[in-house]
Amino acid sequence: MTDKAHLDIEYVSQLARLDLSAAEKEKLGSQLAAILEHFDALKAVDVSGVEPTAHAHAVENVWREGDRAGPVYDPEVLSSMAPESRDNQVVVPKVVE
């Protein structure tokens, strides 16, 4: 196990409030070291001509007929339907102390 992996296991276990045995730390440390080696391999890949994306393939919205915008009501009409309203917002009971 590398020193960095050992330090990371100590730090993360403290953050998570985990009491790990020496054997568990050794096992997790070697797994973390293997993961870090994979990251080093990924750093070596030339991605200079690759555009950054959020998804591996193009994502487009798929709309159904029922998904289209319907009629828009005046705020006064909607406020009149609510049991209690203030400043065009529905007032609900407090749920967090």
User: 54 pLDDT exceeds 90?
Assistant: no
Average pLDDT for the chain: 85
- Quick one: three-class SS letters along 4-52? HHHHHHHHHHHHCCCCCCHHHHHHHHHHHHHHHHHHHHHHCCCCCCCCC
User: 50 pLDDT exceeds 80?
Assistant: yes
Report domain 3-43's class. Answer: mainly alpha
Q: Taking the domains of the chain in order of start, what are their residue ranges?
A: 3-43
pLDDT given for residue 68 in this prediction: 82
pLDDT given for residue 88 in this prediction: 85
pLDDT given for residue 23 in this prediction: 92
